């Protein structure tokens, strides 16, 4: 008798059970069809997820021209009394904050009067292939280094051409100072993108959007890169977190934002699905 047969049988059983979805005692099991959403979910659910979003509060760093958010208990407008679980069975917060707060999205209309607002951006853009440019080696000798086209080409020698339709994120590790050294986010310069790099990625590589850990796209105060990308119909995510936990290629990014009519920016929840 073949001594390997029990091992092979057990292996096939494991493979079969992994491919079956929606199984119950009253509903027969059916293999997930290749290319189906059931098969996609089976694969994705086994992957590692990384949160790319900071929690925010009234003390969160923000551009001085906007000011801090405020959180207050929601109150009955007729009496002014705050709702409580003890008296009302529920409670709520009232939030007052600028759209560009915490980890947030800048839609084209943020800088372009004719640009798309949040409610006009397609939901299909909320799920994209993710590439990450790690700028940290450059920052050891140049703390305000802006990613250059040469940096991108050097990255492509290691990882291949930046895929069209992807989301390009810039890792600087600024996010590590979010809670401990918030003053770092208020300085006049950030490690960021050069204008030439932004233009190259959109026009020559066809990316859909970009993101970074700083409060601004540019190392300079003229906002040239941010102005160009928003006025050319693109969007970006600012103040991202945990990019050090994401590989250079192979991951997916999911970014979700609310749908305020005519919205010009809003905090988002973003996460990566690792390969």
CATH of the domain at 256: 3.50.30.50
Q: Are 91 and 215 in the same domain?
A: no
Secondary structure letter of residue 249 according to DSSP: S
Q: Assess whether pLDDT exceeds 50 at residue 5.
A: no
Q: Are 76 and 108 in the same domain?
A: no
Give dist(CA 186, CA 60) in Å, integer: 11
In this prediction, residue 32 carries a pLDDT of 74
CA distances from residue 35 to 38, 39, 40, 42 in whole angstroms, order as listed: 8, 7, 7, 11
Count of alpha carbons within 13 angstroms of residue 221, beta-carbon side:
4
Locate 39 and state its tokens. Answer: 């098969």
Range of the domain at 269: 51-55+99-273
In this prediction, residue 189 carries a pLDDT of 75
13 within domain boundaries: no
193 within domain boundaries: yes
Cβ atoms of residues 205 and 161 within 8 Å: yes
Mean pLDDT of 4-11: 39
Q: How many domains does the chain have?
A: 2
In this prediction, residue 219 carries a pLDDT of 83
pTM equals 0.86
Locate 16 and state its tokens. Answer: 């079969």
Q: Are 77 and 200 in the same domain?
A: no
Q: Are 106 and 85 in the same domain?
A: no
Mean pLDDT computed over every residue of the chain: 90
Radius of gyration for the alpha carbons in the chain, expressed in angstroms and rounded: 23
Locate 12 and state its tokens. Answer: 């096939």
Q: 74-98 pLDDT, tens per residue?
A: 999 999 999 999 999 999 999 999 9
- At residue 7 the predicted structure's pLDDT band, cuts being 50, 70 and 90, is very low
Give dist(CA 119, CA 109) in Å, integer: 11
Q: Are 177 and 165 in the same domain?
A: yes
Give dist(CA 111, CA 231) in Å, integer: 6
Q: Are 113 and 205 in the same domain?
A: yes
Q: Are 87 and 103 in the same domain?
A: no
Q: Are 69 and 165 in the same domain?
A: no
Q: Assess whether pLDDT exceeds 50 at residue 11.
A: no
Q: Are 85 and 140 in the same domain?
A: no
259 within domain boundaries: yes
In this prediction, residue 6 carries a pLDDT of 41
In this prediction, residue 187 carries a pLDDT of 64
Cβ atoms of residues 246 and 272 within 8 Å: yes
| Long-range contacts of 16-25, Cβ-Cβ distance < 8 Å, separation of 24 or more | 18/42
196 within domain boundaries: yes
255 within domain boundaries: yes
Give dist(CA 207, CA 182) in Å, integer: 30
Mean pLDDT of 245-273: 98
Q: Assess whether pLDDT exceeds 60 at residue 224.
A: yes
- At residue 13 the predicted structure's pLDDT band, cuts being 50, 70 and 90, is very low
In this prediction, residue 38 carries a pLDDT of 95
Q: Are 185 and 124 in the same domain?
A: yes
Q: Are 89 and 106 in the same domain?
A: no
Q: 176-199 pLDDT, tens per residue?
A: 999 888 888 876 678 999 999 999
Q: Are 76 and 170 in the same domain?
A: no
Q: Which residue has the higher pLDDT, 48 or 187?
A: 48
6 within domain boundaries: no
């Amino acid at each position: 008798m073949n001594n390997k047969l029990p091992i092979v049988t057990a292996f096939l059983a494991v493979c079969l059970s992994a491919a079956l979805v929606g199984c119950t005692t009253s509903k027969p099991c059916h293999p997930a069809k290749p290319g189906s959403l059931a098969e996609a979910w089976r694969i994705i659910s086994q992957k590692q997820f990384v949160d790319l979003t900071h929690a925010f509060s009234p003390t969160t760093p923000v551009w001085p021209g906007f000011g801090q958010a405020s959180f207050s208990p929601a109150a009955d407008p007729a009496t002014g009394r705050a709702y409580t679980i003890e008296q009302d069975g529920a409670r709520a917060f009232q939030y007052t904050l600028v759209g560009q707060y915490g980890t947030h999205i800048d839609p084209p209309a943020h800088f372009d009067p004719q640009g798309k607002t949040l409610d006009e951006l397609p939901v299909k853009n909320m799920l994209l292939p993710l590439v990450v440019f790690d700028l940290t080696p450059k920052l050891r000798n140049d703390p305000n280094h802006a990613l250059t086209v040469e940096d991108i080409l050097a990255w492509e020698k290691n990882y291949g051409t930046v895929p069209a339709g992807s989301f390009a994120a810039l890792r600087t590790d600024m996010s590590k100072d979010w809670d401990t050294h918030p003053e770092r986010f208020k300085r006049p310069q950030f490690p960021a993108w050069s204008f030439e790099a932004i233009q190259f990625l959109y026009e020559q590589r066809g990316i859909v959007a970009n993101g970074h850990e700083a409060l601004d796209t540019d190392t300079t105060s003229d906002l040239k890169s941010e102005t160009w990308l928003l006025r050319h119909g693109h969007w970006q995510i600012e103040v991202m977190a945990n990019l050090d936990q994401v590989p250079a290629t192979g991951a997916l990014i999911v970014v979700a934002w609310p749908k305020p009519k005519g919205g010009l920016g809003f905090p988002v929840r973003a996460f990566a699905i690792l390969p």
